[in-house]
């Protein structure tokens, strides 16, 4: 004899659907509420059969306990995402400061040839003072300072352009690193959820066996296989070599799309090891 109302797999599916109430998306929360409401007619029908009623009472308790664990896992994922965002913001602020430093260095180099020097006697203009000291015409000094100004301006521009280019590359890699880390946090969330749902399936099956005298018949494999099949569509498709290549520093912003999508696209990567 088996339950006619709520199989262990159906219980796991309901629990997974009800995790939507932890979301901030209104449609997801609505779907979770509908899944929760689906239990009520089942409980009403179970009241007419002592065994079904006893089974449903314990099954609902197990589902609610698993939802508590899934809630903690979801909050942990969101906390990881928030901390990751704050860390990235700090890095981006550092990038901004470096660009500002490059801009100030450029402006300083541009102004050096025409700077006024403040001394004990007041403000001394650099050009005429230099002409007097070297005993050469002011026009020659003007030409010299013009050439010097161009040289300093060119040097300042090169320094600034170099810093900007370096910071652009760094910014791109920061976004790639952030995306990679968020994928890791997400995959951890799915893996931990898989453990909880597998445990729920086994709990429901034990309750079923204790009340109905036998495990619920399974044709698709054990609990782990069943839950993995349920969640395989939400797992990250990221290339299996992405972790190694990220550590080795060979992933670039141009390659990251192939790494993140995985599957057949990843085989087009020049670092593919398959």
Q: Out of 21-25, 80-84, 139-143, 199-203, which region has the weakest mean confidence (pLDDT)?
A: 139-143
Q: Which of 124-128, 156-160, 237-241 has the lowest mean pLDDT?
A: 124-128
What's the mean pLDDT in 234-258? 90
- Rounded Cα distance between 170 and 92, Å, is 9
What is the per-residue pLDDT for 58?
Answer: 95
**What was the pLDDT predicted at 166?**
66
Judged by average pLDDT, the poorest of 45-54, 156-165, 168-177 is 156-165
Q: If you average pLDDT over residues 197-213, what whole number do you get? A: 94
3-state class of 116 per DSSP? Answer: strand
Handedness of CA 247, 187, 193, 76 (dihedral sign): positive
Q: What is the CA radius of gyration of the chain?
A: 33
Using a 10 angstrom Cβ sphere, with 0-12 exposed, 13-18 middle and 19 or more buried, the burial of residue 273 is exposed
- pLDDT over threshold 50, residue 116: no
**What pLDDT is recorded for position 111?**
55
Cα 153 to Cα 231: distance, rounded to the nearest angstrom: 60
**Domain range annotation of the chain:** 8-236, 239-274
Number of other residues whose CB lies within 10 A of the CB of residue 210: 11
Instruction: Round to whole Å and give the CA distance between 194 and 178.
Output: 24
Residue (of 237, 274, 253, 69) closest to 170 by Cα position: 253
Task: Kindly report, residue by residue over 48-98, the tens digit of the pLDDT.
Answer: 899 999 999 999 999 999 999 999 999 999 988 888 787 777 666 666 665
Q: At what angle do helices 138-212 and 8-18 cross, to 10 degrees?
A: 150
End-to-end CA distance of the chain: 49
Summary mean pLDDT of the chain: 79
Contact status, residue 12 vs residue 204, Cβ threshold 8 Å = yes
Predicted pLDDT of residue 273: 86
């Amino acid at each position: 004899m088996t339950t006619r109302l709520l199989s262990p797999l159906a219980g796991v599916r309901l629990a997974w659907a009800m995790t939507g109430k932890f979301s901030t998306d209104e449609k997801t929360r609505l779907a979770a509420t509908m899944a929760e409401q689906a239990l009520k007619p089942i409980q009403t029908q179970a009241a007419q059969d002592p065994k079904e009623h006893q089974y449903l009472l314990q099954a609902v308790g197990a589902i609610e306990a698993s939802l508590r664990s899934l809630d903690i896992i979801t909050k942990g994922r969101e906390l990881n995402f928030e901390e990751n965002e704050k860390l990235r913001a700090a890095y981006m602020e550092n990038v901004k400061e470096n660009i500002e430093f490059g801009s100030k260095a450029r402006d300083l180099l541009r102004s050096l040839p025409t700077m006024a020097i403040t001394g004990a006697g007041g403000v001394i203009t650099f050009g005429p003072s230099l002409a007097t000291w070297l005993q050469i015409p002011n026009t020659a000094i003007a030409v010299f300072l013009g050439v010097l100004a161009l040289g300093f301006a060119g040097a300042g521009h090169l320094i600034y352009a170099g810093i900007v280019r370096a910071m652009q590359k760094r910014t791109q890699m920061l976004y790639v690193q952030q995306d990679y880390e968020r994928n890791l946090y997400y995959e951890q969330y799915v893996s931990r959820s898989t453990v909880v749902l597998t445990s729920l399936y086994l709990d429901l099956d034990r309750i079923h066996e204790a009340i109905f005298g036998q495990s619920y018949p399974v044709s698709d494999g054990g609990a782990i296989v069943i839950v993995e099949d349920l969640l395989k569509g939400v797992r990250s498709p990221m290339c299996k070599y992405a972790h190694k290549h990220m550590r080795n520093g060979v992933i670039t912003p141009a390659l990251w799309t192939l790494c993140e999508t995985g599957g057949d696209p990843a085989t087009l990567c020049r670092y593919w090891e398959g």
